[in-house]
Amino acid sequence: MKIQQDIKKLIQELRHTMKEQFKRHVSIQDLLSDRYETAEFYGFGEGSSCYNNALIIGDVKVGKHTWIGPNVVLDGSGGLEIGDFVSISAGVQIYSHDTVEWSNSMGKIAPKQKQTVIGNGVYLGPNSVVQMGVHVRDKAVIGAMSFVNKDVPENAKWYGKSLVPGN
């Protein structure tokens, strides 16, 4: 089909341009969309960017100049606030609800919701998970693959399964 050939040609051209300009490969949906337009569409702050394949649920507020990487989950079911100059690496999941008691009660207990807050200047390492109700304070660094189930103090470096303070 002609249209199929045209689409394939367009994708090849966009891939070539992405490789030449930025030396990277991204999904087709991210070739066809603009990260800054995606962030603007969701009402995120000036200069913020968000990969098109991020999952955004509920009430999510994002400050200025925040970078939201690919394959990120932003769950604002219970409210999610993310500050300015935050770097949210690939695969990060930030939750503001859980369904543990709902599942265990066979649906008799409603899902829990609690606001989650990420401060300004925070770095969230790849594949980290932030549990509902957690506050990650300004300029904290969360290491790759960390499970954040407690509040993190300002300027702290935290990593690992049980939030062991970094060096």
Residues 28 and 59 in one domain: no
Residues 43 and 28 in one domain: no
61-80: per-residue pLDDT in tens? Answer: 999 999 999 999 999 999 99
Residues 80 and 122 in one domain: yes
Q: Left, alpha or beta for 41 (phi > 0: left; psi -120 to 50: alpha)?
A: alpha
Residues 137 and 66 in one domain: yes
Residues 45 and 119 in one domain: yes
Q: What is the mean pLDDT of the chain?
A: 93
Residues 49 and 4 in one domain: no
Q: Is the pLDDT of residue 33 over 90?
A: no
pLDDT reported for residue 31: 83
- Does any domain span residue 140? yes
Residues 22 and 42 in one domain: no
Residues 114 and 136 in one domain: yes
Domain encompassing residue 9: 1-32
Cα radius of gyration (the chain): 18
| pLDDT tier, 167 (very low <50, low <70, confident <90, very high otherwise) | very low
pTM: 0.88
Q: Is the pLDDT of residue 42 over 80?
A: yes
Measure the CA angle with vertex 125, ends 100 and 84; round to 5°.
95
Q: Where are the alpha helices (DSSP H) in the chain?
A: 2-22, 28-32, 35-41, 100-104
Residues 118 and 85 in one domain: yes
